[in-house]
Chain A
Amino acid sequence: MSLRVSGIDVFYGDLQALSGVTLEVKKEEVVSVIGSNGAGKSTTLKCISGLLKPRRGRISFEGRDITHSPPSKIVGMGVSHVPEGRQLFPNMTVRENLEMGAQFPRVKALRRQTLGQVFDFFPRLEERLNQKAGTLSGGEQQMLAIGRGLMSRPTLLMLDEPSLGLSPMLVSLIFRIIREINRAGTMILLVEQNVFHALDICTRAYVLENGSAVMEGNGQQMLQNGFIRKAYLGI
């Protein structure tokens, strides 16, 4: 059970955003992708979830080629993408937003049970169940975005900047919950500007620069790496 991205090239019009990106997420792993703004981190996630199509290369999940599959089919296979900026439905309630995450027959039937699991991770969402998403605080909105991502019962959860705009305390909380979600059996692929937390939580990490993966390694080792400390941690 794993995700394998092999040598993908992606273009926005004439502009090449990714060149030959190769990465892998294996069973039980938390994998972080770090890099400057514009390095191609979000683009990589969008390719995996099928929102963008690579011009070259191959993406497979659990041994099946998903390079040309539509996003709906990829979600159905167990890949869930929590986008940057949350992208909630602000005028829908917390419950409605969560239910939007469980639209396939297979997961729809299990909706009540999945909701219970989401509330175990985020008790706050249960308290806010009938409140409109747009009236939640930033931290609660991020919880809802992750919760919605869990409603499709993914085996791979991809998170794009879950710490964006959150207070230091909420950042710690969100990372703690990401770890719990992983321990409960979900692979995590994480894109983060909070490099310290991203490396601290992960099994392995990749560094993207100008659309290419230039480095790969163990998270704790990368935290100690001189180049990473200087270029990405500012130490």
Chain B
Amino acid sequence: MNALVVESLSKNFGGLTAVQGLSFELHEREILSLIGPNGAGKTTVFNCLTGFLPLDSGDVRLGDRSLKRLRPHEICRLGMVRTFQIVRPFLNISVLDNVLVGAMLRERSLARARAKALEVVEFVGLGRFSNALAAVLPLPLRKRLELAKAIATRPRVLLLDEVMAGLNPTEVDELIQLIRAVNQEGISVLLIEHVMRGVIALSQRVIAINYGQKIAEGRPEEIVKNPAVIEAYLGREFLESQG
């Protein structure tokens, strides 16, 4: 069963081809990672999947529904939501209220939405900060808040754009646990990530892209040994730099 199907997706910016005929599927309850050099088109793929950018050609289907020409909020309502590379919480409202914004998508009653938001805040481990202003959270906790805002919309598919950037290895490990827990709730996850520690620990499959095209696909342990991926992305020093 596929949660998400991407078919021959292409996107140009003026004369520049950012994504070229990219196809892949995200299976139901899977964690799939998208890796590739800076500028390879990963974030453009996310922008196209979630309606932030129109596709030039190809199709994106969530379940059996085509998302082509839908707006981000409509796609979110259908059950696919994303986080952003640079965390953007509402700094001057509480952690709980930040999450409430997401929860209001499914709940008309404020009381019920607040109860749901509180549940999510507890789930991501921010319970003791629920009344604190988002501004006071250090980066690892802001990343959790970003996840909480997204989960509160009750997605079937969650897209995470570099959630592990800026965290040290121990902080990365804590976030890995959380993403695993989210996945166990039945949410399929598509990750864009440079932190290979996270990619290897979490993904069932990895897709590597370069110049907007797929260059490899496979299990993480296969991908890190793939010559094309080493050449374009990991570099020869990668394996020895894993500590």
**Interface, chain A (partner B; CB < 8 A):** 34-38, 137-140, 161, 164-173, 193, 195-197, 200, 223, 229, 231-235
Contact = CB atoms under 8 A, between A and B. Distances in A.
B140 A138 contact: no
Contacts of B237: 172
B167 A166 contact: no
Contacts of B109: none
A231 B170 contact: yes
Interface string B213-239: 000000000000000000011110110
B37 A233 contact: no
B165 A168 contact: no
A197 B237 CA distance: 11
Given A166-B194, A167-B38, A232-B168, 17 more contacts: A38-B138, A38-B139, A138-B39, A164-B166, A165-B38, A165-B166, A167-B36, A169-B234, A172-B235, A172-B237, A193-B166, A200-B241, A223-B243, A229-B243, A232-B169, A233-B170, A234-B173
A164 B86 CA distance: 11
A200 B162 CA distance: 24
Contact of B168 (A37, A137, A165, A168): A37
B238 A195 contact: no
B235 to A, nearest CB: 3
**4 smallest beta-carbon distances between A and B, as pairs:** A169-B235, A137-B39, A38-B138, A234-B169
A235 B165 CA distance: 19
Nearest to A230: B170
Given A37-B167, A137-B39, A167-B38, A235 B243 contact: yes
A34 B241 contact: no
